[in-house]
Amino acid sequence: MMKKEPRRLDFGATPVICLLVLPLLYAEFFALNPVPFDRWMQHLSNWSVSLSTRKFDGVEESKSLKSVFRRLVRGEDRTELEATGFACDSAIHSVVCVANRPVRIDTLTMTVHAPSDQPMVPGKSVVQPYARQEDDNLLKTITPVTIVHGNITPPACHYTHNVPAVIFSSSGFTGNLFHEFNEIIIPLFITTRHFQSNVRFILVDYRPWFVSKYYRIFSHLSRYEVMNPAANRSVHCFPGAIVGLKFHDNLAINSSEIPGGYSMPDFKEFLRKSYNLKIKNVSEIERPVLVLISRRKTRMFLNEDEMVGMMKELGFQVVVATRPNRMSNLNKFSKVVNSGSVLIGAHGAGLANELFLSAGAVMVQVMPLGLNWAANAYFGEPAHGMGVQYLEYKIEPEESSLLDLYGQDHPIIVDPASIFAKGYQAARAVYVDQQNMKINMVRFSETLVEALRLTGYSAPSS
């Protein structure tokens, strides 16, 4: 006998009645079913109480779902989806496969069975559901999902769900804030926001710490608990499915690309509500607050204490954020960044915290030797799309520890392009992993004064 996913309870009465009824339901259930309290509460948490009518119901549900699915493909792919119920959007970075008719997902083998009611020769697609398809070595770390479609006989269902499934991976470059947002969180928002939380996530390569870290994101994009297929190993019926996530650009959303309609300001507002961030515009901050990202392994500021002293002299209230001590708890650190007028750090993953800055705040990126392109592509250009003001401080060779190691005439100092020509790993070993900086206080103070000016303040007169 198939088990159905608990449906939402739609009450027309006030929440007070719900509070009176639920304890009675629990008492009766527990008397007849002596299960542990925590298991009953977990079961109860899968129910959601709503004062509005379900958006998807019966015939209207089918029509609504199909109209939402069709936003994920265009042109010939959309025509194929509407004719057969299955299509894939393939691009350089991402592959997104869509089934807009009932599917059955076997979580033991991670196989999506997508039968068609049209005469079709059975076909098979294999997708690694991660938004970085151009990196072949990375894809080897992603569990593949097999999609069997056409005239097929699917397996029997163990569980039935009334919302579509979205399958993606939490492998890849997780553990790095930039890559987590760039290749999972923002693509997840792009792909699923228009479903208005009426989806269920199936997370292959499930990492409990990752689900816990981004719980606020997941809970605002889906009404349901994230499913771990490795712990489930059953066949699930869904009214449709999406395999893979759509990628637009580095820390960016293009409102004209599929599914269309959303922008980075929309995502920033989504983050603000998800993390309960209070500051919407930098003008709401009474005193200039500077958040300094302090690194402890590579690309360190060797004269950080001197830098902090100068920042305070210029009138900043300084918050020094170290990883993992202060930055590991995203729920708390997002509020720290949001309360700042200026965010400063050397090129690195921590600068992805610019996502939490209020509109009009300033992000200052210190660009180590040899990393100009990456610094601009990953954090500089995206800042403009977020409504964040951007300044860069390019260090001189004299400010890099590489000068002492290699000498002023070495190609590493005078010709970084020749090092990158040897391959990214060769360049990374030097410019990313081996370099620290001793900042020129005179030059850097000019950048800080400009940051003050951009946020509506001025440096104290000497």
For the segment 172-206, what is each residue's pLDDT rounded down to a tens digit? 999 999 999 999 999 999 999 999 999 999 999 99
The answer to whether position 460 is within a domain reads no
Work out the average pLDDT over 67-81.
94
Whole-number Å distance between alpha carbons of 133 and 170: 14
- pLDDT reported for residue 118: 74
> For residue 7, what pLDDT band results from cuts at 50, 70 and 90?
very low
Query: Token digits for 306?
Result: 């001197």
Residues 212 and 301 in one domain: no
Asked which of 239, 273, 307 is the last residue of a domain, the reply is: 273
Stretch among 22-36, 84-98, 128-142, 313-327 having the lowest mean pLDDT: 22-36
Q: Percent of the chain scored above 70 by pLDDT?
A: 85
For residue 416, which amino acid is it?
P
Sorted by sequence, the CB contacts under 8 Å of residue 432 that are 6+ apart come out as 298, 299, 371
Work out the average pLDDT over 200-214.
97
Residues 46 and 164 in one domain: no
Work out the average pLDDT over 389-406.
98
Residues 257 and 300 in one domain: no
Query: Token digits for 17?
Result: 């009645």
| Model confidence at 157: pLDDT above 90 | yes
| Model confidence at 41: pLDDT above 80 | no
The answer to whether position 83 is within a domain reads yes
Burial status of residue 304 (CB atoms within 10 A of its CB: 0-12, 13-18, 19 or more): middle
**Helix or strand (DSSP H, E) at 109:** none
Residues 264 and 348 in one domain: no
| Model confidence at 3: pLDDT above 50 | no
Residues 33 and 171 in one domain: no
Work out the average pLDDT over 283-312.
96
For residue 352, which amino acid is it?
A
Which CATH number does the domain housing residue 325 bear? 3.40.50
Whole-number Å distance between alpha carbons of 337 and 269: 15
The answer to whether position 462 is within a domain reads no
**DSSP-derived secondary structure letter, 432:** I
| Model confidence at 445: pLDDT above 80 | yes
Residues 296 and 200 in one domain: no
For the segment 217-273, what is each residue's pLDDT rounded down to a tens digit? 999 999 999 999 999 899 999 999 999 999 999 999 999 999 988 999 999 999 999
Residue, of 72 and 3, whose pLDDT is higher: 72
Residues 15 and 42 in one domain: yes
| Model confidence at 348: pLDDT above 60 | yes
- pLDDT reported for residue 338: 98
Q: Percent of the chain scored above 90 by pLDDT?
A: 77
| Model confidence at 309: pLDDT above 90 | yes
The answer to whether position 461 is within a domain reads no
Residues 14 and 117 in one domain: no
Asked which of 33, 50, 67 is the last residue of a domain, the reply is: 50
Work out the average pLDDT over 435-459.
95
Number of domains in the chain: 3
Whole-number Å distance between alpha carbons of 387 and 264: 8
Asked which of 228, 258, 273 is the last residue of a domain, the reply is: 273
Whole-number Å distance between alpha carbons of 226 and 206: 9
> For residue 447, what pLDDT band results from cuts at 50, 70 and 90?
very high
The answer to whether position 175 is within a domain reads yes
| Model confidence at 433: pLDDT above 50 | yes
Residue, of 39 and 339, whose pLDDT is higher: 339
Residues 281 and 262 in one domain: no
Q: What mean pLDDT is reported for the chain?
A: 87
The answer to whether position 420 is within a domain reads yes
Residue numbers of the domain that contains 342 = 276-454
- pLDDT reported for residue 8: 38
The answer to whether position 78 is within a domain reads yes
User: Could you tell me whether strands 3-4 and 159-160 are parallel, antiparallel, or unpaired per DSSP bridges?
Assistant: parallel
Candidates 338, 313, 444; CA nearest to 391 is: 444
| Model confidence at 325: pLDDT above 90 | no
Helix 15-32 vs helix 37-45: crossing angle, to nearest 10: 140
Sorted by sequence, the CB contacts under 8 Å of residue 194 that are 6+ apart come out as 68, 71, 259, 261, 262
Contact 243, 130 (CB under 8 A): no
How is the chain split among helix, strand and coil, in percent rounded to 5? Answer: 40, 20, 40
How many helices (H) and strands (E) the chain has is answered by: 20, 19
Structure-token match 């990375």, residue found: 138
- pLDDT reported for residue 48: 33
| Model confidence at 12: pLDDT above 70 | no
CB atoms within 10 A of CB 156: 8
| Model confidence at 356: pLDDT above 50 | yes
Q: Phi and psi (nearest 5°) for 194?
A: -75, -5
Residues 352 and 448 in one domain: yes
> For residue 62, what pLDDT band results from cuts at 50, 70 and 90?
low
**DSSP-derived secondary structure letter, 256:** T
DSSP string, 4-73: EPPPPEE-SS-HHHHHHHHHHHHHHHHHHS---HHHHHHHHHT--EESS--SS-HHHHHHHHHHHHGGG-
DSSP string, 143-193: PPEEEEEES--PPPPSEE-SS-EEEEES-SSTTSHHHHIIIIIHHHHHHHG
Residues 329 and 445 in one domain: yes
* Length in residues, the chain: 462
- Give me the half-sphere count of Cα atoms (radius 13 Å) on the Cβ side of residue 254: 8
Residues 44 and 80 in one domain: no
